[in-house]
A and B are shown apart, each in its own frame.
Chain A
């Protein structure tokens, strides 16, 4: 008896995960979509193409329209204007239950009156699948919850509930899986673990994942492509590394990590470089990192790209400026300095503790220097603090 029972699920599992890999998902096109609630424009003429099989993140602060966008794809909101196309099918006005899309809801929305097995089987039963057992069992195996099939959702921990929510959506082989802040309710350690887990599942099944989050680290860890959203439109779209290394707006520069933005102006060109004048100093940077049509720019540098040295250190071929250290926080792997510049602006510098000359003390005069290739320039008409006041950590 035990032999038969233990063998059966293993066979079914391999069959079914092979079936899942074959689906691959479909392209999702959001074409010129607008959503208004009364006079409030939640999503403003948004156009996005999300390629099949990708892990795509919509990242932005609360109220930026990312969840509304997701709900329109799921069919839980109807767009005021525009079209939503999955593969070849225009689904803009289809009911939610007539779309090849499933959602992992924020705080999971597991059915409390059904056990884990029935929660996962819910979609299959509604579609009229006769024998749900093999599929449900292999799906529970995929999320490592086989022994919990007869528990009620309230008897599971947050991380386990999260995996049930993923299983309940994935078992239906959607073309697109939508994840609405799926890890928001978990503590930090579990969130890290689930980030890796979700990425693994996405690679296994190859379905298009659209992930909505306000957590920039979560988006960067998991997604192939991130769209940073603000006030109903996309600020910048690209791979995590491009967004972080070469932001095109002050919002992206501040929302993804931190940036030091210093007022400057473009004075000319030299070869592939642009020459800048920043508070009396001359600097250079690559032309393709200038994102401004006018000569007035915010010159930006990430804190960890700035190097800090004792006054008088030679800084050949690098951009540099001088200042006074006003604060130093030793954090083990790095030290965070606040440096006051002569024109009364403070910049932050993250410095790895590599120096053998001993620490730099508060009150000391220092030279800040960085590679021209680490410089980016943004339009000076933008708000230098845009996106900086995001809420860290849990929502």
Chain B
């Protein structure tokens, strides 16, 4: 096949130097970038280098740490905490899926059906931010406690028994035993995997809802009319037009939820038992309690590397650059 003829319609016409330099000079972009670059180099690049450096040290807080290319920190981290890594990712993944399932209909309603209630609903979505994250998670302790409303409701409806029976099969290898005791314990929700997952879902819901809303709200209603005009039922029009066009929001929302959720220590700390400890809790205690800085640093580097790899694969699969 010969290459298709090039027609000068793709992209913008090249801006001329004169057009670009009106009221500015060539240093303007750098001047605008410099605060951000400065901030990131001080508070992101330098700490990352320090962290990677620390992860290769050996010694103790009393004897002092020395840089010895101690790669065994990494092998220790993996052998000791592989199951915690996997558990963190599983919890974050389930919470992200729950967030998507809750936020999509919510964002869809706000974008297409809310009419004059739209702004009020948007304010309600971000209203939780008016109170501290810690305080709200503490409130969930009360809500999920053994005498709280959630357990009471589930006991009365028999749901607790049902949730208790959701376990990972015993035939699965040990490192895949995310819920050996079920997602709830006998007659309780607090201090179980369910509580941690619900806490994460709750806390990160706005980060899913807002990007979804932004991408749904941009969709031209005439495209949906065009789809129904072209023999799509409401459901087909959603699947073939609305959903694909909202994918940038889905990708942004899942990243904004999954990335912080995977490293979050607060929900597991406040709503879980030691059995639900996530990787964030391990790093936290390695730094503050055990004061094994090299191991804590190695765990942090591994967490970062894991997330960056997963996100890279995900974004590539979702093909965001293809989307408008």
- Decide if A102 touches B230 in the complex (CB within 8 Å): yes
CA distance A281 to B10 in the complex (A): 65
- Decide if B230 touches A109 in the complex (CB within 8 Å): no
Most B CB contacts (10 A, CB to CB) among A105, A107, A127 go to A105
Residue A130 at the B interface, CB < 8 A? no
Q: Which residues of chain A (140-180) have a CB below 8 Å from chain B?
A: 147-148, 150-152, 154-157, 160, 168-169, 172
Residues of A with C-beta under 8 A to B227 = 111, 122
- Decide if B225 touches A126 in the complex (CB within 8 Å): no
Residue A317 at the B interface, CB < 8 A? no
CA distance A122 to B244 in the complex (A): 14
Residue B270 at the A interface, CB < 8 A? no
Residue A112 at the B interface, CB < 8 A? yes
Q: Distance (Å) between the CB of B161 and the closest chain A CB?
A: 44
Choice from B229, B240, B245, B324 contacting A96 with Cβ under 8 Å: B229
Task: Using CB atoms, name the residue of chain A closest to B9.
Answer: A157
Residues of A with C-beta under 8 A to B245 = 112-113
- Decide if B228 touches A113 in the complex (CB within 8 Å): no
Residue B232 at the A interface, CB < 8 A? yes
- Decide if B229 touches A112 in the complex (CB within 8 Å): no
Residues of B with C-beta under 8 A to A169 = 229-230
Q: Distance (Å) between the CB of B116 and the closest chain A CB?
A: 15
- Decide if A105 touches B231 in the complex (CB within 8 Å): no
Q: Distance (Å) between the CB of B285 and the closest chain A CB?
A: 47
Residue B5 at the A interface, CB < 8 A? yes
Choice from B223, B231, B322 contacting A109 with Cβ under 8 Å: B223
Residues of A with C-beta under 8 A to B322 = 113
Number of residues on chain B facing chain A (CB within 8 A): 26
CA distance A106 to B226 in the complex (A): 11
Q: Mark B288-314, 1 if CB is under 8 A from A, else 0.
A: 000000000000000000000000000
CA distance A110 to B241 in the complex (A): 11
Number of residues on chain A facing chain B (CB within 8 A): 35
Residues of A with C-beta under 8 A to B127 = none
- Decide if B222 touches A97 in the complex (CB within 8 Å): no
Q: Distance (Å) between the CB of B47 and the closest chain A CB?
A: 40
Choice from A106, A122, A157 contacting B230 with Cβ under 8 Å: A122
- Decide if B222 touches A96 in the complex (CB within 8 Å): no
Residue A184 at the B interface, CB < 8 A? no
- Decide if B223 touches A97 in the complex (CB within 8 Å): no
Residue B4 at the A interface, CB < 8 A? yes
- Decide if A95 touches B228 in the complex (CB within 8 Å): yes
- Decide if A112 touches B324 in the complex (CB within 8 Å): yes
- Decide if B231 touches A111 in the complex (CB within 8 Å): no
Most B CB contacts (10 A, CB to CB) among A103, A111, A155, A172 go to A111
CA distance A155 to B12 in the complex (A): 10
CA distance A112 to B230 in the complex (A): 15
Choice from A74, A113, A148, A150 contacting B229 with Cβ under 8 Å: A74
- Decide if B226 touches A113 in the complex (CB within 8 Å): no
- Decide if B233 touches A97 in the complex (CB within 8 Å): yes
Q: Which residues of chain A (107-151) have a CB below 8 Å from chain B?
A: 107, 109-113, 122-123, 126-127, 147-148, 150-151
Q: Which residues of chain A (28-44) have a CB below 8 Å from chain B?
A: none
Given A97-B233, A112-B324, A148-B4, A155:B226 Cβ within 8 A: no
Residues of B with C-beta under 8 A to A157 = 7, 9
- Decide if A113 touches B222 in the complex (CB within 8 Å): no
Residues of B with C-beta under 8 A to A314 = none
CA distance A113 to B241 in the complex (A): 8
CA distance A126 to B237 in the complex (A): 10
Residue A239 at the B interface, CB < 8 A? no
Residue B236 at the A interface, CB < 8 A? yes
Residues of A with C-beta under 8 A to B10 = 151, 155
Given A147-B4, A148-B4, A154-B324, A109:B220 Cβ within 8 A: yes
Q: Mark A61-99, 1 if CB is under 8 A from B, else 0.
A: 000000000000011100000000000000000011100
Q: Which residues of chain B (230-282) have a CB below 8 Å from chain A?
A: 230-233, 236, 240-241, 244-245
Residues of B with C-beta under 8 A to A102 = 229-230
Q: Which residues of chain B (1-46) have a CB below 8 Å from chain A?
A: 1, 4-5, 7, 9-10
Q: Distance (Å) between the CB of B67 and the closest chain A CB?
A: 51
Q: Distance (Å) between the CB of A151 and the closest chain B CB?
A: 8
Most A CB contacts (10 A, CB to CB) among B220, B223, B230 go to B230
Given A155-B9, A157-B9, A105:B230 Cβ within 8 A: no
Choice from B9, B220, B225, B231 contacting A127 with Cβ under 8 Å: B231
CA distance A96 to B10 in the complex (A): 34
Residues of B with C-beta under 8 A to A154 = 324
CA distance A43 to B240 in the complex (A): 33
- Decide if A109 touches B225 in the complex (CB within 8 Å): yes
Q: Which residues of chain B (204-233) have a CB below 8 Å from chain A?
A: 220, 222-223, 225-233
Q: Distance (Å) between the CB of B2 and the closest chain A CB?
A: 9
- Decide if B229 touches A126 in the complex (CB within 8 Å): no
- Decide if A105 touches B225 in the complex (CB within 8 Å): yes
Residues of B with C-beta under 8 A to A97 = 228-233
Residue B49 at the A interface, CB < 8 A? no
CA distance A339 to B229 in the complex (A): 52
30 A–B contacts, CB within 8 A, in A order: A75-B229, A76-B225, A76-B228, A76-B229, A95-B228, A97-B230, A97-B231, A102-B229, A102-B230, A103-B226, A105-B229, A107-B222, A109-B220, A109-B222, A109-B225, A112-B223, A113-B241, A113-B245, A113-B324, A123-B230, A123-B231, A126-B231, A126-B240, A150-B4, A151-B10, A154-B324, A157-B7, A168-B230, A169-B230, A172-B231
Q: Which 6 A-B pairs have the closest CB atoms?
A: A123-B230, A126-B231, A109-B222, A109-B226, A155-B10, A96-B228
User: A residues bordering B, Cβ < 8 Å?
Assistant: 5, 74-76, 95-97, 101-103, 105-107, 109-113, 122-123, 126-127, 147-148, 150-152, 154-157, 160, 168-169, 172
Can you name 13 extra interface pairs (CB under 8 A) apart from A123-B230, A152-B324? Answer: A74-B229, A76-B228, A97-B228, A97-B229, A97-B230, A97-B231, A97-B233, A101-B229, A105-B222, A109-B223, A111-B227, A126-B236, A148-B4
